[in-house]
């Protein structure tokens, strides 16, 4: 029996459909903003390697083709498995794809988290080191932490009508700059055929100030370039790597988003530490995504018990109907760490990016079919990892 069976139990009743979860998202019993995945492995297979800053140089196994059919424009998937050395915690990685992990695809809302990190880097470069997502700016609700805006982006919160997820995604593009964002893929990641830099279908809010970020007191000039000059087309492999570099900025500071530090990652993952928009909220940012396909197949109570409350998932979903491709599309980026607190070598840790695109006339039935396919793809990926089929 695979050791992962000690922790992971398929729970088919967890979701009544692929995009309406029967339960409210459960959270770990152990909360810490400085949390780091405690998984350690006494022996790491020889086909795991230290992180390579050149994504094009990594070896990608196409074993996901049996789980997510490798049809360009239909499905794309990439997984990065992580094993940390038991002696010093150094992470090593192994990459999987479904044969179309390098195909540049529309990111939809999944890439808003990357736009936020790009904004953090620009702020730090102009406002001083450490003055990125930890800052606040004035808006209609008063001084508003940027981390609270990220929570709106991830959760699609509607309790603060001045802000929407799509509008704030565009606002962070104005902060970081679309040209700078596009260079994240083209130059920083050496993926010249890919681009991050468009808006997200809504006008950015006009009340949020660019003139007095706090606590730095600095001002920036917002990007006024046309969103139509840029696209949001990134591959599944690039997006999985982007999530990896955001989550692991402590372990791999040399590969962190340009000019960002762990303080920015912490805000991205958990939202603002103190916020008038969400008083007392602990699990904000990417931890708060309710449409979290990483929990498919997970018995949350068992996971919490086995890990001592140390499990985590961070994610961002996106989707919409493409009139250009006449298809309903769903995208998902995420990270999971499921430890077994008392057993060395038993836990799993991984990053994932998936996309499904279903051709057809726009309709509720087509939308449901697309989410059903994402449900099936992610449940298959999760279970393959838990069962030790991807090792």
> How high is the pLDDT of residue 225?
87
Co-location of 92 and 229 in the same domain: no
- Average predicted confidence (pLDDT) for the chain: 91
Count the helix, strand and coil residues of the chain and give each as a percent rounded to the nearest 5. 35, 20, 50
> Are both 79 and 144 inside the same structural domain?
no
Whole domain around residue 23: which residue ranges?
Answer: 1-101+293-391
Q: Which two tokens stand for residue 150?
A: 């990220």
Domain check: are 128 and 228 in the same one? yes
The pLDDT of residue 113 is above 70 = yes
**317's tokens:** 């979903």
Which of 288, 320, 350 is a domain's end point? 288
d(CA 151, CA 174): 18
User: Are 92 and 13 members of one domain?
Assistant: yes
Q: How far apart are CA 355 and CA 68, in angstroms?
A: 10
Note whether 343 and 377 are within 8 A (CB).
Answer: no
- The residues that bridge with 322 in the sheet, in sequence order, are 327
Judge if 153 and 236 occupy the same domain: yes
Cβ-Cβ contacts under 8 Å for 217 (sequence gap 6 or more): none
pLDDT at 6: 31
Give pLDDT, residue 69. 65
Judge if pTM exceeds 0.85: yes
Domain total in the chain: 2
Q: First CA to last CA across the chain, in angstroms?
A: 14
Residues 149 and 169 in one domain: yes
Over residues 157-216, the pLDDT tens digits come to: 999 999 999 999 999 999 999 999 999 999 999 999 999 988 898 999 999 999 999 999
Kindly state whether residues 297 and 281 are assigned to the same domain: no
CB distance 83 to 44 below 8 Å: yes
SS3 (DSSP) at 329: strand
- Residues 182, 225, single domain; the answer is yes
> pLDDT band at 13, cuts 50/70/90?
very low
- Looking at the chain, the number of H-run helices and the number of E-run strands are 8, 10
Whether residues 70 and 51 share a domain: the answer is yes
For residue 1, pLDDT over 80 is answered with no
Rg, Å, the chain Cα set:
20
Question: Using one digit for the tens of pLDDT, what is the confidence trace for 294-319?
Answer: 999 889 999 999 999 999 999 999 99
21 pLDDT more than 90: no
Least confident of 130-139, 156-165, 226-235: 226-235
Q: What pLDDT, on the 0 to 100 scale, is given for residue 25? A: 86
* Sequence-separated contacts (24+) of 41-48 with Cβ below 8 Å: 41/83, 41/84, 41/85, 41/86, 41/344, 41/345, 42/86, 42/344, 42/345, 43/345, 44/83, 44/85, 44/92, 45/83, 45/94, 45/391, 47/94, 48/81, 48/83, 48/92, 48/93, 48/94
Q: Are 283 and 270 in contact, with CB atoms under 8 Å apart?
A: yes
Residue at which a domain ends, from 288, 317, 351 = 288
Note whether 21 and 97 are same-domain residues: yes
Per-residue confidence (pLDDT) for residue 2, from 0 to 100 = 36
- Do 43 and 132 lie in a common domain? no
**Which DSSP string corresponds to 54-84?**
-GGGS-EE-GGGGTS---TTTEEEEEEEEEE
Does the pLDDT value for residue 17 go beyond 90? no
Contact (CB, 8 A) for 340 and 323 = no
- Mean pLDDT on 98-107: 94
Q: What percent of the chain has pLDDT over 70?
A: 93
Cα 242 to Cα 184: distance, rounded to the nearest angstrom? 9
Question: Picking from 46-55, 70-79, 162-171, which range would have the lowest pLDDT averaged per residue?
Answer: 70-79
DSSP single-letter state for residue 53: S
Element (H, E) at 144: strand 142-145
pLDDT over 50 (residue 63) = yes
| Residue 71: predicted pLDDT | 57
Question: Cα–Cα distance between 89 and 251 in angstroms, integer?
Answer: 9
d(CA 131, CA 117): 12
**172: CB partners within 8 A, 6+ apart:** 112, 115, 116, 118, 119, 149, 153
Residue 123 φ/ψ region, left for φ over 0, alpha for ψ in the -120 to 50 degree band, beta for the rest: alpha
330 and 205 part of one domain: no
Copy the structure tokens of residue 140: 């209609």
Phi, psi for 25 (deg, rounded to 5):
-60, 125
Question: Hey, what's the torsion of the CAs at 282, 242, 368, 23, to 10 degrees?
Answer: -20
pLDDT at residue 22 tops 60: no
User: Mean of the pLDDT values across residues 315-336?
Assistant: 96
List strand residue ranges (DSSP E) for 171-307, in order: 233-234
């Amino acid at each position: 029996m695979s050791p992962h069976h000690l922790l992971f139990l398929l729970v088919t009743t967890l979701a009544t459909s692929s995009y309406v979860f029967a339960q409210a998202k459960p959270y770990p019993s152990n909360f810490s903003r400085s949390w780091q995945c405690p998984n350690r492995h006494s022996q790491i297979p020889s086909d795991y390697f230290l992180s390579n800053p050149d994504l094009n140089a990594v070896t990608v196994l196409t074993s996901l083709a049996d789980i997510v059919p490798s049809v360009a424009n239909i499905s794309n998937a990439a997984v990065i498995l992580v094993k940390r050395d038991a002696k010093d915690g150094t992470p090593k990685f192994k990459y999987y794809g479904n044969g179309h992990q390098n195909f540049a695809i529309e990111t939809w809302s999944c890439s808003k988290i990357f736009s936020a990190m790009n904004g953090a880097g620009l702020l730090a470069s102009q406002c001083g080191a450490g003055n990125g997502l930890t800052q606040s700016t004035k808006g209609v609700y008063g001084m508003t932490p940027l981390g609270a805006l990220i929570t709106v982006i991830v959760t699609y919160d509607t309790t603060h009508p001045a802000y929407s997820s799509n509008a704030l995604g565009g606002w962070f593009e104005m902060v970081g700059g679309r040209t700078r964002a596009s260079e994240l893929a083209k130059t920083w990641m050496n993926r010249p055929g890919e681009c991050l830099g468009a808006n997200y279908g809504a006008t950015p809010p006009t009340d949020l100030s660019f003139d007095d970020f706090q606590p730095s007191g600095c001002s920036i000039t917002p990007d006024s370039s046309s969103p139509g000059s840029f696209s949001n087309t990134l591959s599944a492999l690039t997006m999985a790597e982007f999530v990896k570099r955001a989550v692991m900025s402590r372990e791999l500071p040399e590969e962190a988003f340009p000019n960002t530090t762990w303080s920015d990652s912490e805000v991205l993952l958990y939202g603002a530490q103190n916020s008038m928009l969400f008083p007392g909220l602990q699990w904000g940012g990417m931890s708060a995504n309710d449409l979290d396909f990483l929990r498919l197949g997970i018995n949350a109570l068992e996971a919490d018990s086995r890990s001592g409350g140390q499990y985590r998932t961070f994610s961002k979903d996106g989707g919409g109907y493409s009139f250009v491709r006449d298809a309903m599309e769903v995208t998902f980026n995420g990270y999971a760490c499921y430890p077994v607190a008392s057993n060395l070598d038993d836990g799993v840790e991984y990053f994932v990016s998936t996309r499904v695109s279903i051709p057809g006339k726009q309709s509720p039935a087509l939308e449901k079919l697309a989410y059903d396919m994402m449900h099936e793809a992610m449940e298959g990926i999760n279970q393959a990892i838990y069962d030790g089929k991807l090792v």
